[in-house]
Structure 1
Amino acid sequence: MTSTQKSAEPIAKDAAQRQKAMGLLAKASRAELQAAFEALENKPAVQPVRGPETGLVMVRGRIGGGGAPFNLGEATVTRASIRLEDGTVGHGQSLGTDGAKAQLAAIFDALFQQPARKTEVDTLLETIAARGAEEDAAKARQTAATRVDFFTMVRGED
């Protein structure tokens, strides 16, 4: 194994962790992000880099998860980029037109990249993940309540 392969592994791991964190931040509610920002002891100095700006993205789908992709429709998204005073750049995005939510997500993305502040963001991410899991479980229970099991009884000699 070469030295470039060894050094690329931690980078890939960090990128995967950041990708997961950004996904959770995009799913967070504005209230969750605002409350977490207000709870920060040392609020960072934030400089906007881009946005927030709202636009459209094409949503693609597949029939049965494996069919040919097709354009399902467009979705409104908002993105924002910020820079902290130490130069760390954070990016945030969310469905809809809530620019403040995208900007708060960008702030937490930037804080996630700082080792000293990562634990603060991890606490927020755990809260978002727990809420998402609870919502998924509630939806699964609601769906299970309407489930109908069909069975066929074989008659004769087959």
Structure 2
Amino acid sequence: MTDLTPDQRARQSWMGTLAKAPPVRLEALMDALGDLPEATWLQPPEVGTVMVRGRTGGTGAAFNLGEMSLTRCALRLTSGEVGHAYVQGRDKAHARRAALIDALMQTDRAPELRAAVLEPLETEARAATLARAQKAAATKVDFFTMVRGED
């Protein structure tokens, strides 16, 4: 894999955050932004499937696990920025919102969008991950063997 520039890493990060965001939460955060610019479709939202691959033991040989539905789209703002989105499932509105934020993050509105949309989503995702880890830790069982005194 080629080395990514800092800008590419940043875009990869926010696109991942938008793709994994709960659609209802993304909609609420975007509604709070008020008026958003119009965009033209380069590729309207379309639903398809992708093959999901896994690895034996997480590191072993790759194998085809199964198919997953995916929605993708691309749009262009009137100012010329292009936004893309790939989201799991069949939610065309979620893909449209993610592509619009992707395009807007390439404009001078990026700091506003980072504070109003991306940072809350990232904070909520970290909290959900921590809650899952704590719930799993609560079910942990430590097994031990008692020494019987025999050699």
**TM above 0.5, one fold?**
yes
- Inter-partner Cα distance in structure 2 for 1:22 and 1:51: 18
- Inter-partner Cα distance in structure 1 for 2:91 and 2:67: 17
Following TM superposition, by how much is the alpha carbon of 1:150 offset from its aligned partner in structure 2, in angstroms?
1.2
Matched, 1:93 2:122: no
Which residue of 22, 28, 48 maps to 1:29? 22
1:130 corresponds to: 123
- Inter-partner Cα distance in structure 2 for 1:40 and 1:51: 23
Following TM superposition, by how much is the alpha carbon of 1:141 offset from its aligned partner in structure 2, in angstroms?
1.4
CA RMSD of aligned residues (A): 1.8
1:3 corresponds to: none
Percent sequence identity is 47
1:6 corresponds to: none
* 1:133-148 correspondence to structure 2 within 5 Å: 133-148=126-141
SS at the partner of 1:43? coil
Following TM superposition, by how much is the alpha carbon of 1:42 offset from its aligned partner in structure 2, in angstroms?
4.3
- Inter-partner Cα distance in structure 2 for 1:20 and 1:92: 13
- Alignment deviations for residues 110-129 of structure 1 (CA, whole Å, 9 cap, x no partner): 01111x11112212111111
Matched, 1:117 2:114: no
Matched, 1:56 2:56: no
Matched, 1:18 2:3: no
* 1:67-78 correspondence to structure 2 within 5 Å: 67-78=60-71
- Inter-partner Cα distance in structure 2 for 1:58 and 1:12: 28
- Inter-partner Cα distance in structure 2 for 1:16 and 1:141: 29
Task: Please give the TM-score of this superposition, normalised by the length of structure 1.
Answer: 0.86
**Matched residue count:** 148
Task: Please give the TM-score of this superposition, normalised by the length of structure 2.
Answer: 0.90
2:72 corresponds to: 79
5+ residue gaps, structure 1, are 1-8
- Inter-partner Cα distance in structure 2 for 1:16 and 1:99: 25
Give the residue type in structure 1 aligned to 2:114: D
Q: Which has the higher helix share?
A: 1
Following TM superposition, by how much is the alpha carbon of 1:151 offset from its aligned partner in structure 2, in angstroms?
2.0
- Inter-partner Cα distance in structure 2 for 1:121 and 1:49: 23
Following TM superposition, by how much is the alpha carbon of 1:154 offset from its aligned partner in structure 2, in angstroms?
4.6
- Inter-partner Cα distance in structure 2 for 1:138 and 1:35: 23
- Alignment deviations for residues 41-78 of structure 1 (CA, whole Å, 9 cap, x no partner): 44111111112000000100112211100001110000
1:4 corresponds to: none
